[in-house]
Amino acid sequence: MLDLNTLNESQLKAVTNKEGPMMVLAGAGSGKTRVLTFRIAWLIENGLDPFNILALTFTNKAAREMKERIIKVTGQDARNLWMGTFHSVFARILRAEGQKVGFPSNFSIYDTDDSKSLIKTVVKGLNLDDKLYKPNMVLNRISLAKNSLIGPDEYLDDASLVSEDYEAQRPELGRIYKEYFERCFQAQAMDFDDLLYYTHVLFSNHVDVLNKYQDRFRFVLVDEFQDTNFSQYLLTKKLASRFQNICVVGDDAQSIYAFRGADIGNILNFEKDYPDQKIFKLEQNYRSTKNIVEAANHVISHNKAQLTKEVWTDNEGGERIELIKASSDSEEGRLVSSSIFQEKMNKQLKNSDFAILYRTNAQSRALEEALRKVNIPYRIYGGISFYSRKEIKDALAYMRFTLNPRDEEALKRIINFPKRGIGPTSVSKIIVLAKENSKTIWDIIQESEKHFKGKIGNALNDFASMIKHFQIEATKKDAFSTAETIIKHSGLLKEYYEDKTIEGLSRYENIQELLSGIREFTDNSELEDHSLSAFLQDIALLTDQDNESEETDFVTLMTIHSAKGLEFDHVFITGMEEDLFPSQLMMSSRADLEEERRLFYVAITRAQKKLVLTHASTRYRYGMLNSCEPSRFLEEIPPHLVFQNQRASGFARAGSVSRGYVRKKETPRTPVTNLKPVRKIKSTYRPPENFTPDDPTLLEEGMKVEHPKFGFGKVQKLEVYNQQKKAVVNFDDFGEKTLLLSFAKLKIHSK
């Protein structure tokens, strides 16, 4: 049963609004996810069929968590909710209706790497300069066009777009877009942006399909509305147009993704499309201290384009915001790591209580070096994800090609891995033959004896037989059984099992972990579809935040863009300098500068208890040492909310952050000396000439052991992971090491 007594007055009004268009304007830390969850649960408790609710989020993780909460309150029937990211929901619609726009239900979904690979192929095929037409740049241009619902023909017919390309000295972008678009269609594949683009085409060209989904979705709810782009808003508006029961939740002050196509105008101008909308403002912040909330309010008040609200909190006043000035980026790193070290020691805090935010990824280098020197473990948020690793992409490519043998990018990845004697020349010939004969690449492979002789012909024939076997398995069995067959019979498992290097073992373990993940998917009784196709769609649409592990005690390092939606007790915002934050690339217009200020607002409001701002007098950028001036944004925080760290020379007096301060030149100060340097240990251990390791199966926890390199130590823990036995040993001179016992040589001395 839903307990509405736990809501404040503003939240309650938003949750229990009956019908019509509505906007929930939610300040940072004001409980917007709670309101969205409660509203959906309230609609169900008041008789609305979950089948008739569409809720759109920006991560699958957020959708899953909300759905689980709703099920707990309203019962199992809530599983019938249509809830997920824009891409996952529209992919689901296209799986069912895609044949109307020329796609089968098992179309492939290209990730960014697939798209870049295809763009490279297109650029090469058109004999264009690959240094001028870099895949990243081309893909971004195509993405912006698709998100504006501009197809390749419209692009080439648009004089302003073509003119922009000529001025940028890239006149062939339109032609690349057209060829890329056609190649995707031939491969029966969509990239992420196509999932929105083709849904728009489907709804525009097939009114009966649009009517079907308009009738189904009687209530439409959108989370993080300030981050929607043109196509997302238009599709949402179309789906909600029959009943007008649209609820958007967001905060214009946290709109920071214009570079991805997000349009702040969607939330600022919502009232123009829905003049009878009701606005509910969530202004009570439950996350941060009064000082942090007041600082954020003062900063964002400098923006002109915004919806008015006044965020407040009943939380304690808290510490004043700390400002640290360093002489260089290296010293900035040392001061940040020193501060974390001291806070941990003084207040008995965990590493996971701290986050270090920066404007650009390049800033992490000096911070990482400093953290390593004081042995503080850290994690780079948004690093290479599990599903981006080579061995995983290889396995998934086999699965994709099994389901969609027109997938050219998957074919190029797997046809000669593991090696089977089919080189790049043969692959190019297959692609050319397919084009010349108006056939698919799979057609050519299946009739390989017509086109290839000898070993290559035999190899292609064997490859075709293998894929056909996999296809039969896919029609009969679930995702796990099919994937297990593919991984074993493709030769991938053998390839990595026989590679006894550390990298090879890691890849073998990752393949096993992939199978574990597919088993978990197959065993999930909450899912209706346990097919390989359903699994591939599930992982193809993962976002960065979905990929993050739940693991444990690390200091988190990330860009501010990645930090949105997260919160930490202690937050360091580094690099508060002109031309870095705000970025020199974002000062050509008021709109750009206001987006940078919103980014700073997001950074400030990640902090719950303590906020530290740092800046440096000099910083290496692009290999050159530059003098830096403090960011203009520092002037926008009232002086009474700030104190300046006095731990080393060169700081201004406390409270001196006021107009004119940031332009003042100051002398570099001496490096901090309040941290003892990490003791470098030189081991005197030398292994005896007659060193003979013992049988590792005899090892027990607590035993004293000897290693030929690390010397003497004690076994702290034994564990088995993916059939590999590991020992955690604390060595006298080298500290804690984790050793694979199949490789490590340990001599047992005693208990």
Q: How deeply is 678 buried, as exposed, middle or buried, from its count of CB atoms within 10 A (0-12, 13-18, 19+)?
A: exposed
Quote the distance between the C-alpha of residue 158 and its chain's center: 33
Q: Is 667 a catalytic residue?
A: no
Catalytic residue among 224, 251, 252, 407: 224
Which residues does 183 contact at the CB level (< 8 Å), separation at least 6? 118, 121, 122, 408
- Secondary structure class of 438 (helix, strand, coil): coil
Residue 509: active-site member: no
Query: If residue 296 lies in a helix (H) or strand (E), which one and from where to where?
Result: helix 290-300
Residue among 33, 232, 306, 482 flagged as catalytic: 33
Helix (H) or strand (E) segment spanning residue 609: strand 607-616
For residue 739, give Cα distances in angstroms to 134, 182, 391, 721: 42, 51, 23, 12
Collapse the DSSP code of 572 into the 3-class scheme (helix H, G, I; strand E, B; otherwise coil) and give the result.
Answer: strand
The tokens describing 159, both together, are 């004089």
Nearest to 712 by CA among 700, 720, 703, 699: 703
Nearest to 496 by CA among 648, 370, 392, 364: 392
Is 254 noted as a catalytic residue in this protein?
A: yes
The partner residues of 324 in beta bridges, in order of sequence, read 614
Burial class (CB in 10 A: 0-12, 13-18, 19+), 298: middle
Active site residue 33: yes
Q: Which two tokens stand for residue 596?
A: 């940078």
Q: Which of 143, 158, 155 is closest to 194 using CA atoms?
A: 143
CA 29 to chain centre: 21
Structure tokens at 669: 């100060």
With a CB cutoff of 8 Å and minimum separation 6, the contacts of 207 are none
Distance, in Å, from the CA atom of 79 to the CA atom of 64, rounded to the nearest integer, reads 10
* Residue 464 CB partners (closer than 8 Å, separation 6+): 445, 446, 448
Selected catalytic residue, list 32, 67, 287, 564: 32
The full length of the chain comes to: 751
Cβ contact 335:616 at 8 Å? no
Token match 């193809």: residue? 540
The yes-or-no answer on residue 263 being catalytic is: no
Catalytic residue among 606, 609, 619, 632: 606
| Closest residue by Cα to residue 22 from 316, 365, 280 | 280
Catalytic residue among 191, 223, 546, 596: 223
Catalytic residue flag (residue 605): no
Three-class secondary structure assignment of 80-144: HCEEEEHHHHHHHHHHHHHHHHCCCCCCEEECHHHHHHHHHHHHHHCCCCCCCCCHHHHHHHHHH
Catalytic entry in 85, 199, 228, 254: 254
CA distance 306 to 25: 11
- Residue 566 in 3-state DSSP? coil
The catalytic residues are: 32-33, 223-224, 254, 606
